[in-house]
Amino acid sequence: MSNEKQVDSSRRGLLVATCAAGGVVGLGTTGALVSTFQPSERAKAAGAPVEVDISSLQPGEMKTVEWRGKPVWILKRTPEMVASLKKTHNQLADADSQRNPAEFTPEYCMNEHRSIKPEILVAVGICTHLGCSPSTKFASGPQPSLPDDWQGGFLCPCHGSTFDMAGRVFKNKPAPDNLPVPRHMYLSDSKILIGKDEKGEA
């Protein structure tokens, strides 16, 4: 007769059930840990970079995404919109984006377009006067609250500040600075990462 202890059937059932329950808990914990590596909505609102697909954006269209609780505009400018930037240069308060560049314009956007690619503008859609959100006024020509030689751009409805198609503020307006351009980079021709560039996160 064998001297090995025999495990009765009730104990064997309990042992199997305990192992199974432990496995389920283990898998659940692993899933929870993996999910913590993904940025939560709270983390995104606090400043996590935001990836944006612009593959469907057509010339003349703009999409808005949220980053750090702020609206960020991504505008695909038409050739006419890009050409208008030369026409507004002498009417602007800070045409070369020299004011507070660390806050308003990354070094790689210190150009006439204020962008990495001439046709794509990325800007925070908040007026630098008192924080209102400007309206799009892309059509050129005379319009209410705009000059007769208007080339297209943005109008702040609160106090009348106007910005050109690169988000540069016009002279003699309440807004003291151009619209901010957040740090960003292209992940591909159709994807932009807002809030991070080659130097790190904003």
CATH code, 72: 2.102.10.10
Count structural domains, the chain. Answer: 1
Query: Does residue 6 fall inside a structural domain?
Result: no
pLDDT in tens, 35-90: 444 455 555 556 789 999 999 999 999 999 999 999 999 999 999 999 999 999 99
Query: Does residue 31 fall inside a structural domain?
Result: no
Q: How far apart are alpha carbons 11 and 69 in whole angstroms?
A: 57
Q: What pLDDT is attached to residue 94?
A: 93
Spans of the chain, pLDDT less than 50: 1-5, 15, 24-38
* Cβ neighbours around 191 below 10 Å, total: 13
Query: Does residue 74 fall inside a structural domain?
Result: yes
Query: Does residue 2 fall inside a structural domain?
Result: no
Query: Does residue 22 fall inside a structural domain?
Result: no
Cross-strand partners of 98? none
- Domain, as residue range, for 135: 43-199
Q: What pLDDT is attached to residue 12?
A: 55
Query: Does residue 51 fall inside a structural domain?
Result: yes
Query: Does residue 9 fall inside a structural domain?
Result: no
Question: Letter for the amino acid at 59?
Answer: P
Query: Does residue 3 fall inside a structural domain?
Result: no
